[in-house]
Amino acid sequence: MNIFRLAGDMTHLASVLVLLLKIHTIKSCAGVSLRTQELYAIVFATRYLDIFTSFVSVYNTFMKLVFLGSSFSIVWYMRYHKAVHRTYDREQDTFRHWFLVLPCLVLALLIHEKFTFLEVLWTFSLYLEAVAILPQLVLLQRTRNIDNLTGQYIFLLGGYRGLYILNWIYRYFTEPHFVHWITWIAGLVQTLLYADFFYYYFLRFIGGRGVE
Amino acid sequence: NKNDVTKDEL
């Protein structure tokens, strides 16, 4: 574990907590894409299949449970909790996210490190996570103005993988044989997709107003 | 082996 990866995990955790805070306390998911949340639930479900078979550390297992539990409960809240569901913007959140799942699965079947069930699904989760934010970014452009909590959520979610890139650079230079092109390229694409969001976020953040 | 190294990340 290095400071970049710890910062990345904490940033990821913070993004999830900000979203849960917004949904649980003010019972609102305005501006949040249910489709992105559904994709993230699939990402964690296919990435953490080894949670029962390979133990890395208490921290690792605990964080996996947190991400699994939070992503599924956020989907549950947005789908079935009547107060929260009412604030869900169904008409605007129309990105065909299932069209993202199949290409990622095909790509994982073609490009992976090992051709095993767990490894292919794990690779699939990497590809899917790289594009999972697209429905949210599209919704963001349609709803124009979003509240600060949603803006913070997206900022933290985009930032965590950027910190992971620093972690991979650090590990590449400090650990022999630490080369994982698939993870690195997927992580880079994922972070680059946030580029224009970060641009507007900093513009607004510096201006002290909400994110538009 | 190197794959375990990969899987120690979230």
- Please name which of A157, A23, A24 lies closest in space to residue A88, comparing C-alpha atoms: A23
Q: Cβ–Cβ of B5/A178 closer than 8 Å? A: yes
Q: Is the CB of residue B1 less than 8 Å away from at least one CB of chain A?
A: no
Residue A191 has pLDDT above 50, yes or no: yes
Residue B4 has pLDDT above 60, yes or no: no
Residue B3 has pLDDT above 50, yes or no: no
Average pLDDT, chain A: 94
Q: Is the CB of residue A204 less than 8 Å away from at least one CB of chain B?
A: no
| Interior/surface letters B1-10, b for 16+ CB within 10 angstroms, e for the rest | eeeeeeeebb
pLDDT digits (tens, 9 = 90+) for A125-149: 999 999 999 999 999 999 877 888 9
Q: Cβ–Cβ of B10/A63 closer than 8 Å? A: yes
In this structure, are residues A112 and A123 in contact, taking their beta carbons and an 8 Å threshold? yes
Interface ipTM:
0.85
Q: Cβ–Cβ of B10/A50 closer than 8 Å? A: no
Q: Cβ–Cβ of A64/B10 closer than 8 Å? A: yes
Residue B2 has pLDDT above 70, yes or no: no
Of the candidates B3, B4, B9, the beta carbon closest to that of A113 is on B3
